A and B are shown apart, each in its own frame.
Chain A
């Protein structure tokens, strides 16, 4: 054996070690270089990363005590398990997130002046998920109002006005179809779009979502065909109505994804899309200049039943285990300033959560404001099913032709077995 490959191997190994050591040194030197205390700030919703980064830079410059570390990568469950969660977070508020709150992982913010500025009905909205008694654990920061996104130009071209009853809506769809226009663009390949779109809209329009979940939670493991309330009983009618929407979608809807739906809307390939405000900036990305608007999906014959689907888009919270609760509170105060909070909601098409928040003026979401102010809204029914039950896939199966009774019965038994385990 010649010695050269061996010696090469040894030198490069030494080289690697040296490089590793140097890196470790520089990495460690990066921490604590200034006298400021590090406060870790976690953010979900990556599309607003740049905006938040700018706000943090502003906050860093405004005070000398804390340095805010911008975190989009950490795993929250691991952080809480390690008793080392981020110091403060701005996060999508959903059922999975609410578990941390329910178990007392989040600190009480009720003594903050900012907490009293939140609208009472929005505070209540946060309590649709299991709260922790006696604490204001989360401050809702923005609310998403979702409904039917429609292309204004197509509506004008065919002389259509926004429908307020189910029969008006189906008549409108038929008219569009006769004119050779796809009424609704379906993106069934992404199961979540079915959940948040046609499912939540018909369910929310026809039943009282909150009361229903209170009932089935109480019935618990007895949920099934013989119970007073069950998924297969109470949801049968709304699901049947939802399926009536299917013929109004384009033929290749089962193969299309969320992103394709946004591009199609931007290109005027369909008149309507059942999506939330988060889709609007994506539609605008294609830079086609197509003008959009939104209206609630009518699912009954009474215009008084019209409601929009809302969810808490982002909420602020501070864990009990935060290392720097004071620094975290500084950040909450900064983010709750009207000029910071309202600017975000205006720029990203969300609805304000404070009593003094200005109404939305963007033509794309302006129609949502009155429903929001009059509390004519519901939270999406799909949002209250734990992730351990693959309901989105069950729903997709129904849309693809499976019998609704079969899938709803399965949901019943899944719900019952989860309740039995709890």
Chain B
């Protein structure tokens, strides 16, 4: 699209715009499927308990009440729970990107060696072992090693995601021409320098993708922290929030307030990361 700069252009352009009616309708429906639950969440979180239990999700809050937020904040001890969640997520994201990219680099550049080729298949095989299958031995092992805490959970996240992430990185690495690397080596760079100065920056878009997956997985994970972390004071947000989901009682207003507060960091991180992915992709495209 050309960038029109004269003052009369916008009016003429508007006349030319044609709407794709079916696509607009489909997009509207898609938007509604997200917007309505979000509206209900915000709406419910602002109600009093007496109003929240009446089962009418769309009635507006009357009276408007912020009590649910205060209660959710103190019930889950949100600042502490959020710190633990952020701690685990940060280690998982950084660890997954760094370790998987290193592994992928070593494997791709040594593909002709049997040890590396087979270690790749070995790593891939781990994709077929879901966490619940090995949960019990993991619980006992982390207990014996003193890793029944957030550090252990972060480490397990890194290890369990290693298979998928290494696969993503190897696929991407194969598309990077080896001549780039050779030119750097001629100038006297070591392998370590080549990786950090050349390969890792080039892997940017893929690192962003891996990072987003790592973030969402570790941030939202329930089962692993609930089984592995033994000290209740070091428990993550999703596990603590399970206290709002009880067979015998409901606190819609408090639980929705809590979900909203827990969602906030994820949304912020997602917006930032999304920007990265897009800029990374376009940079590669217009070389």
Contact = CB atoms under 8 A, between A and B. Distances in A.
Given A73-B240, A82-B139, A82-B143, A16 B232 contact: no
A72 B54 CA distance: 27
Interface in A121-151: none
Chain B binding surface, main DSSP class:
helix
A52 to B, nearest CB: 12
Contacts, number: 124
Given A46-B243, A84-B148, A259-B250, A287 B94 contact: no
B4 to A, nearest CB: 28
A179 to B, nearest CB: 25
A136 to B, nearest CB: 27
Interface string B86-103: 110011011000000000
A284 to B, nearest CB: 10
B93 A278 contact: no
Interface string B42-62: 000000011001110000000
A50 B151 CA distance: 30
A27 B84 CA distance: 8
A287 B87 CA distance: 42
A27 B232 contact: no
Interface string A2-38: 0001100100010011011001101100110000000
Contacts of B84: 23, 27
Contact of B201 (A6, A30, A40, A74): A6
A1 B279 CA distance: 11
B230 A84 contact: yes
Interface string B27-43: 00000000000000000
B205 to A, nearest CB: 11
Q: How large is the interface on B (under 10, 10 to 19, 20 to 34, 35 or more residues)?
A: 35 or more
Interface string A62-84: 00000001111111001101111
A288 B90 CA distance: 48
Interface of A: 1, 5-6, 9, 13, 16-17, 19-20, 23-24, 26-27, 30-31, 40, 42, 45-47, 49-50, 69-75, 78-79, 81-84, 192, 258-260, 262-263, 278-279, 281-282, 285-287
Given A73-B232, A81-B139, A49 B243 contact: yes
Contacts of B235: 73-74
Given A17-B90, A27-B150, A81-B139, A263 B228 contact: no
Interface in B217-251: 226-235, 239-240, 242-244, 246-250
B75 interface: yes
A9 B211 CA distance: 12
- The list of the 6 closest CB pairs from A to B, nearest first, reads A82-B143, A71-B232, A47-B249, A78-B227, A46-B243, A20-B90
A368 B132 CA distance: 44
User: Which one of B136, B151, B242, B250 has the highest number of Cβ atoms from chain A below 10 Å of its Cβ?
Assistant: B250
Interface string B203-224: 0100000000000000000000
B55 A73 contact: no
A286 B86 CA distance: 37
A266 to B, nearest CB: 8
A263 B55 contact: yes
A74 B234 CA distance: 10
Nearest to B227: A78
Given A82-B143, A263-B54, A75 B250 contact: no
Contacts of A263: 53-55
Contacts of B148: 82, 84
Given A72-B232, A74-B232, A285 B150 contact: no
Contacts of A40: 231-232
25 contacts: A5-B280, A16-B93, A16-B94, A17-B90, A20-B86, A27-B150, A30-B80, A31-B231, A45-B246, A46-B246, A46-B249, A49-B75, A50-B75, A69-B232, A73-B242, A74-B235, A78-B135, A78-B139, A81-B139, A82-B143, A258-B248, A279-B248, A282-B248, A282-B250, A287-B50
Nearest to A24: B87
Given A82-B140, A278-B248, A260 B94 contact: no
A299 B93 CA distance: 61
B193 interface: no
A34 B80 CA distance: 19
B274 interface: no
A262 B240 CA distance: 26
Contacts of B242: 73
Nearest to B71: A50
Contact of A75 (B49, B227, B248): B227
Nearest to B97: A13
Contacts of B239: 73
Given A27-B234, A30-B80, A78-B227, 17 more contacts: A1-B283, A5-B283, A20-B86, A20-B90, A49-B75, A73-B232, A73-B239, A73-B242, A74-B229, A74-B230, A75-B226, A78-B228, A82-B142, A82-B230, A84-B148, A259-B250, A282-B250
A82 B239 CA distance: 19
B249 A278 contact: yes
Contacts of A84: 143, 148, 230
Nearest to B240: A73
Contacts of B91: 20
B110 interface: no
A79 B276 CA distance: 41
Contacts of A286: 50, 53-54
A285 B283 contact: no
Contacts of A69: 231-233
A99 to B, nearest CB: 15
